[in-house]
Amino acid sequence: METRELRYFVAVAEELHFGRAAQRLGIAQPPLSRAIHRLERRLDAVLLERTSRAVTLTEAGSVLLREARAALDAVEAAERRTRRA
């Protein structure tokens, strides 16, 4: 898993909307949707339930959101500590 994939997933999970998440990330919606689909295939898990009106997190999505936030926080902390060294 790449940090980019985690950032994309966190944005969609927090916004619960692909369009707003894409705007927040500064990318187009189709590549974001494809990235999330690839992540779901790689993990063999449905992370988001999609309907024509809403996006909601599945149980697996909730687990990944918690873990992804922790992982991204750890990467950012490592970058800060490295720069200060």
Whole-prediction pTM: 0.92
With tokens 């949707």, the residue in question is 33
> In whole angstroms, how far apart are CA 22 and each of 11, 13, 64?
8, 12, 19
**Hey, what domains does the chain have and what are their CATH numbers?**
3-84 (1.10.10.10)
- Name which of 17, 4, 28 is nearest 57 in CA terms: 17
- Per-residue model confidence as pLDDT tens digits over 1-59: 899 999 999 999 999 999 999 999 999 999 999 999 999 999 999 999 998 888 999 99
- Per-residue model confidence as pLDDT tens digits over 46-82: 999 998 888 999 999 999 999 999 999 999 999 999 9
Decide: 6 and 71 in contact? Cβ < 8 Å. yes
